[in-house]
Chain A
């Protein structure tokens, strides 16, 4: 019996010891053997409403607490501040003002987010207001240590199968939840992401903030994989609000589902020239499997395309533009007559308010690639995430074949890509038609269909082309070409709407015009 008992005990011990290993072997893994966190996830918690146990109240769903020990260890003054925050939450909650949510609050929102992963970066893109986080998997210090931001600076490493992320350099403006729990700029976070199975990530956070709390404290919850949509969608908090309250007005000619104007010239879809793809002039970077590696930090040599796609001399406070149109070969955009007139009208001062980017809305495409701000490409297995410093992202799906249903429209469109040789070819549709192509008001509508090519031509240069088909605004397809240059740099944060002092001035100019006062002094 002793022998059998010992054998059973040994089997039990063996089974106990084997279980985690068996589980770990079942986890999805990247080519380099790390747990593959990629996919769309959503928090299984009410922590965004309140971190401790809390009843329901206006704007807040009741929820079970997730804080170890039950309550947040506030210093006495800070507890009073939290209570005041709660009392004033309808006006003071940063999220009620569509401000950036900060970390860890963003992780717990009632919106999904996506993870795109490569060996040295993890990108998180969020449905909520096109927010993203870029986690650098590096032991080197940040180039911008000490620069405060809403979302903090994230650096991570793998501890076995757990992704450990240190987040610091926060400002003191975000809240931890909708109940007024808050932090100071001294807050640092340690996040731990550990896959429990293929569809569950355990998320554990330690918060250290000696200015607000008496000691570090912890909480944890799970993310569950989401598959009810074929891709992550968009919720633009500020844009939706301004549309709803009339501060951002519908354009009946370009917004979905505007029809093609009856007096438009016919659209000649075959008129475009198929340009030969650029040829490499040097060795390009490649992933271990041979695929071109287009990841990294890029700036675009756009020649002022954000102030005009055609060549122009510029004017008062409007830069000269090089002209990036390569087809038609005369460099002019093949406008429909109404759209050319509309573009000229948008140049008038009272129309400056109508540019969506003046409201800090998402720039759309291809504009996001030539606004004068850098972007970061994170090249995942199924998706390529492009993180635009002006706090927006685009996803390029590499495995989907069907675009979204026609009725779902996005600021950044729906992009599906594939590799043809060393060129990434991306087809996009489902645009909402709310964007401008630049500050000079070049026109684009919801009927925009676009084929982009990203061709790496040496280790640090991508030649980017975008061919746009839009029968509402144009008579034929047209193509722009812009080089992208890779650099060793990091993204900073552009919290735009949060400190946008310009919009009220632009609105004054528009309102004066509408009141019959004309353009204030000269246009």
Chain B
């Protein structure tokens, strides 16, 4: 419980600012550098799973249709070690996510950054920038 009482945004900063990633497969094999994405939506679920966590985001298209995107984060264990807990990203949170879409064309993405409604722009741990600092 070392960092259990962090305010959620501070916790996000910790999570996203950390350099550690916990990849178990080649991200470059799964995601496509030619398919950058920038989507905004409401969190429907955060899956605290290993080998990677997932943020599920309802995104409304220009035609009004809602697509539920699956957006990959670092492993739950890394988030937990940085003080994150399940309650810190509740359903309904509005996020803008930048990243890259999966090569298979499904509504799946690797997260490069997460921006909250108040404008904070935060890295999410599985991006190339963070990955290059991995020790």
Residues of A within 8 A of B (CB): 143-147, 301-304, 306-307, 314-320, 348-353, 355, 357-358, 360, 371-373, 389-390, 439-440, 489, 492-496, 498-503, 505-506, 508-509, 512, 520-522
Contacts and interface: CB of A to CB of B under 8 A. Distances in A.
Nearest to B22: A372
Nearest to A142: B1
A458 B47 CA distance: 40
A168 to B, nearest CB: 15
Interface stretch (B31-39, B59-67, B88-96, B116-124): B31-39
A319 B23 CA distance: 10
B58 interface: no
B42 to A, nearest CB: 20
Contact of A314 (B21, B110, B131): B131
Given A306-B23, A521-B103, A509 B33 contact: no
B24 A316 contact: no
A521 B24 contact: no
A521 B32 contact: yes
Given A494-B51, A499-B49, A372 B29 contact: no
Contacts of B31: 317
Contacts of A348: 29
B29 A351 contact: yes
* Leading 9 A-B pairs by shortest Cβ distance: A352-B29, A358-B25, A508-B104, A499-B49, A317-B27, A319-B131, A520-B103, A352-B26, A521-B34
Contact of A505 (B34, B104, B128, B135): B104
Contacts of B26: 317-318, 349, 352, 355, 358, 439-440, 506
Contacts, number: 146
B54 interface: yes
B118 to A, nearest CB: 28
A349 B1 contact: no
Contacts of B131: 307, 314, 317-319
B50 A508 contact: no
Contacts of B134: 304, 307, 319, 372
Contact of B25 (A499, A506, A522): A506
A352 B30 contact: yes
B109 to A, nearest CB: 11
A371 B103 CA distance: 25
Interface in B66-89: 70, 72, 75, 77, 80-81, 85
Given A143-B1, A355-B25, A494-B77, A522 B32 contact: yes
A383 B100 CA distance: 46
A500 B47 CA distance: 12
A319 B19 CA distance: 11
Interface residues of B, number: 46
A506 B105 CA distance: 12
A315 B31 CA distance: 13
A301 B134 CA distance: 9
Given A501-B70, A502-B52, A352 B25 contact: yes
Contact of B32 (A304, A496, A498, A520): A520
B32 A315 contact: no
Most chain A Cβ neighbours within 10 Å, of B25, B102, B105, B128: B25
B21 A318 contact: no
Contacts of A389: 77
Given A314-B132, A494-B77, A506 B29 contact: yes
A301 B135 contact: yes
Contacts of B35: 521
Contacts of A522: 32-34
A208 to B, nearest CB: 23
A59 to B, nearest CB: 28
